[in-house]
Each structure stands twice: as C-alpha cells, then as structure tokens.
Amino acid sequence: MLVAGDVRRTWKDQYERSCRVARALEREGVAKGDRIAFLDRNGLEYFDVIFGGSFLGAVSVAVNWRLAPPEMGAVIDDSQASVLLIHPDYVPALAAMKTDLPRIRRIVVLGDPRTVEHEPDVRVDRYESWIEDAPATDPGVTPEPDDISMQLYTSGTTGLPKGVMLSNANLATAVAAAGEVFCVDEDTVSLVAMPLFHIGGSGWALCGMSRGGRSVILRDLDPVELLRLVETEGVTETFLVPAVLMLLLQTPQIASTDLSSLRNVFYGASPISDDVLVRCLEAFECGFTQVYGLTETTGAITALRPEDHDPAGPRRHLLRSAGRPFDHVELGILDPVTGEASPPGQVGEVVTRSALNMVGYWGRPGDTSKVLDDDGWFHTGDAGYLDGEGFLFLHDRIKDMIVTGAENVYPAEVENALLAHPSVADAAVIGVPDERWGEAVKAIVVLAPGVTWPAAEAAAELIAFCRDRLAGYKCPKTVDLAETLPRNPSGKILKRELRAPYWEGRERQIG
C-alpha cells in the first residue's frame, strides 16, 4: 500500500494507474528510451510516472524543484524530455526558465492547466483528464537489463548538474539488496522523507517498496509531521540525512512521540558528528545504520550496521566510519598522485566496482571517461581510507582538500572536531588564500540555539579546542560565525559558495 496525506492506495490500484500513465505517454508518442520530466515535490504521482514510464521502457527524469527556474529549464533541456509533468506550484517557474523548452510537446499539470503559458504547438492537459480515457493495460514492452530506467541529476556542488543514467540492472541490483542491507520485508512500513529527485529519496523508496509492505510518502520535510507519521503509521524503517536528524533532535515533540515502531533508521549523504549520532541513538532507541554511496553508484555501497554502533564500547571509533562494503561491491583506495593502491590507514581516493555503477553521464562521454575507467572502477572523488578490518573512513571530497604549507588537511576531520564542542551546531571548513602558507584553514561556525558568544571570544575558544584534538597545521587560523550554512538538497555543504568570496579575482582556486 502507498500512503500520502489522506490517500491510501493499494498495489492493485497503483498498477492500474501506472498502466494508464503508460498508455497516455504512448499516445504522446513516447517510446523506449525517451525521457519524461517530472517537476513536483514528493507525491504519489511520481510513482505513477516512474512505474508507468518503465512499462514503456521510457526514462524518468525527476527535476530538482529547489533549483532556480533557469536551472530547472537547463535540466529539462539537457534531458531532451518530450513530456513534462508539473505541479501548479511550479507553473510560474516556466516563464522564468529562460528557455522555451523546445523539445517539450506536452505539458501535463497536476492540477488546473489554465494558467500555463506555452508555445502554440505545445498541448497542455490536466493530469486526471490526461489519464482518464487511457486503458489500464500494460503496453507489453519487454525491458532489457541494460536499458536506462532512471536519470537523476547530480547535486551540482562542483559544477553544472549531470544526468546520471541508471539502468534496469543497476536498480535491480540495489533492490535485491533491500532485504539484506535495509531489513525490508513484507511487514516493512517505510517512510519516504527525502526528496525523490535524489537517490536517497527515489532509491530508498524503491527499496522500501520492493517487498510489498506499506510506504508512507512525506510531501514536505516538516519535522513535526515526520514524527507524527512515525507514530500514527507505525513506521519501521526510514532514511534521513544528518541535517534532518539534527532538526528532529531540536523538535520538542520528539520527547512525547511514540517511536517504538522504529526498527532501523538509515542515515548518510553527509558527515555526522559523534555527538549528534549518540544523541540520536538515545532519542530514537532503535537500530541505526550509516550508508555511503553516490547517485553514480545507485545509492548505498557500504553500511555501518547497528551492531557496530557502540558509543560506550572499545570500538567507539567506528561511529566515524561509513562501514564495510556490501558483499557484491569491490572497494579500493588509490593514491591521488601515483594512482597506486594505498595500504590500510593511508588516505586516498575511494574507488568502487560493482553492478551498481552507473552506465554513464547522459550526453557527456568525456565526463564519464574521467570517472569510469576501462576496468569498470568508478572514481568517486571522495577521500578516505580503509582500516585493517575493511571499514571505510571518509575524510572529504578530494577537491575540498586544503593544502597548507605542503600539508594536506581534510576539512571533515576539522569539522568533526568543531562539532564536538557543545556550543557548535554546525560547521564548515574551507581553504582561503594565504601569502605564507598558500592556503589557510578557515572555519565557519553556526552556534547552538540559545548560545550568544562574541565573535573574537568564540574564535579563540574554538581554535584552542581544536588544538587539543588535532595537529597544529590542521587547526583553523580564523573562525567566522554564521546564522546558517548553505547546503544542497542532499544536505551537503556548498563549499564552493563559501570559498567564492575569498578566491574572487584569482585564476586558481588553490593556493
């Protein structure tokens, strides 16, 4: 069963609606390999489209609704979609997209289409009317394992979003691991809380649905509503990013909500401090599993399982680990300079090989060849190391590494030290130009709610706090206070935005 708001839909009903969508798309001339763009927040219609499109062998493209209109238009144009399904909330964005969406032949509005301005040869329909007369029969297209099924766009933290092509084989491999890794069974009540344009939303949703059970779709990330759904729907599993976990810890209703139905909370997509994780374990009183992966790996490829979360035991250091790779996933660490395999404990670039690796970036063979080598290894761009037991410890993005006085500093290590301070709610560490050292370590810190601290005093205290925990060259030289930190929809800090003012006018973004 699928649940969204007041709507409760059986799998039989979902199958029939998906067939109607497939037939309506077929009527528009959509065929195998064609792209379908979808622009809305989390809702049942997304699953009508992703399932219906798959019945035709078409490729679903979920557009990031948090983008600015010109960015939305660029993604739709890049995908070469011929049909756009859009919620009325985003209809005003059409006029601001700075593109006439030349390939779009049909706009389907999930509501009233009368307010849509469009080109004369573009037909506009209301969603329910569009599928009303379509037969609820499967078109009968036979999918192949290598056919592309889903095209998700990267978050764009280091450049323009790229369309990640995920095949039926990719998704089938991810779903096959749902029982083993994500504890999904026929009794699972899965809460889908993350945006569906992200692999942490759509990938988690498909895994949660893979054994039947019940999936609860949260349209907007309201922490009070999220807690209410856990209690009233009896949610057993969910995936959340650390930023949401921190938000829930700050929500008063968490103390009075019955969370006893939860069996496991999966988390990942950005770093989490030891303190926040321990507080989560105490507040939720259920299993926690950290997962690590990327859009390009169809989501998770490693897991730190509940039994490895032992904050009071001798293996507390594992709380900073992303866990060990799945049985069907190969993981390695390469020296970023020599390209040779790094020994245990030595930081390098994380590389992986498995049936989860994407087919490639849509229309970007050059970018694809930079990250997928001839032997099938995907180069993640993440820096980390493997310990002697095979646990992965992530440091940062290779591109975020700070080189100060010929020493390499990985910002995540410094951020974790800062986040251990009780007065710090959030922190980001970047490299800024320095005449002596090339780059200097700068921290940008958000204070915990209710904490008031003069900037100079805060900087002195936090730098001293880091000196007790880190080598001197890793410690911030300066600390700025901020109200919030810029993050993308995945919860990752936008380091590029933070660095931009300090590197403006320089040819190179390194020292």
Question: Which tens digit of pLDDT belongs to each residue from 52-83?
Answer: 999 999 999 999 998 878 888 999 999 999 99
Element (H, E) at 179: helix 178-182
Provide the pLDDT for residue 122. Answer: 65
502 conformational bin, left if phi > 0, alpha if psi -120 to 50, beta if neither: alpha
Superfamily of domain 221-397: ANL, N-terminal domain (3.40.50.12780)
| Closest to 475 in 3D by CA, of 492, 456, 461, 455 | 461
Provide the pLDDT for residue 16. Answer: 97
The single-letter DSSP state of residue 452 is -
The CA distance from 279 to 281, in Å, is 5
pLDDT in tens, 273-310: 788 899 999 999 999 999 999 999 999 999 999 999 99
Say what percent of the chain tops pLDDT 70: 94
pLDDT in tens, 329-365: 999 999 877 889 999 999 899 999 999 999 999 999 9
The single-letter DSSP state of residue 306 is G
Instruction: Say which residues have a Cβ less than 8 Å from residue 297's Cβ, sequence separation at least 6.
Output: 352, 354, 356, 357, 358, 378, 380
- In the chain, residues under CATH classification 3.40.50.980 are 2-143
Encode burial over 270-286: b for 16+ CB neighbours within 10 A, e otherwise. Answer: ebbbebbbeebbeebeb
Topology given in CATH for the domain delimited by 401-503: GMP Synthetase; Chain A, domain 3 (3.30.300)
Distances from the Cα of 18 to the Cα of 53, 56, 131, 214, 350, angstroms: 8, 11, 10, 18, 39
Candidate from 36-40, 405-409, 423-427 with smallest mean pLDDT:
405-409
The model's pTM is: 0.82
Encode burial over 413-423: b for 16+ CB neighbours within 10 A, e otherwise. Answer: bbbbbbbebeb
Q: Are 488 and 155 in contact (CB under 8 A)?
A: yes
Dihedral Cα 248, 252, 256, 259, nearest 10 deg: 0
| Closest to 302 in 3D by CA, of 392, 179, 241, 379 | 392
pLDDT at residue 508 tops 50: no
The CA distance from 495 to 443, in Å, is 11
> Which structure tokens are listed for 428?
């980001």
The CA distance from 326 to 331, in Å, is 9
CATH number assigned to the domain with residue range 2-143, chosen from the 4 options 2.60.120.560, 1.50.10.10, 3.40.50.980, 3.40.50.2000: 3.40.50.980
- In the chain, residues under CATH classification 3.30.300.30 are 401-503
Residue with tokens 């909500």, as numbered in its chain = 257
Dihedral Cα 340, 345, 349, 350, nearest 10 deg: 110
Provide the pLDDT for residue 155. Answer: 66
Helices marked H in 293-428 — which ranges? 365-371, 411-419
- In the chain, residues under CATH classification 3.40.50.12780 are 221-397
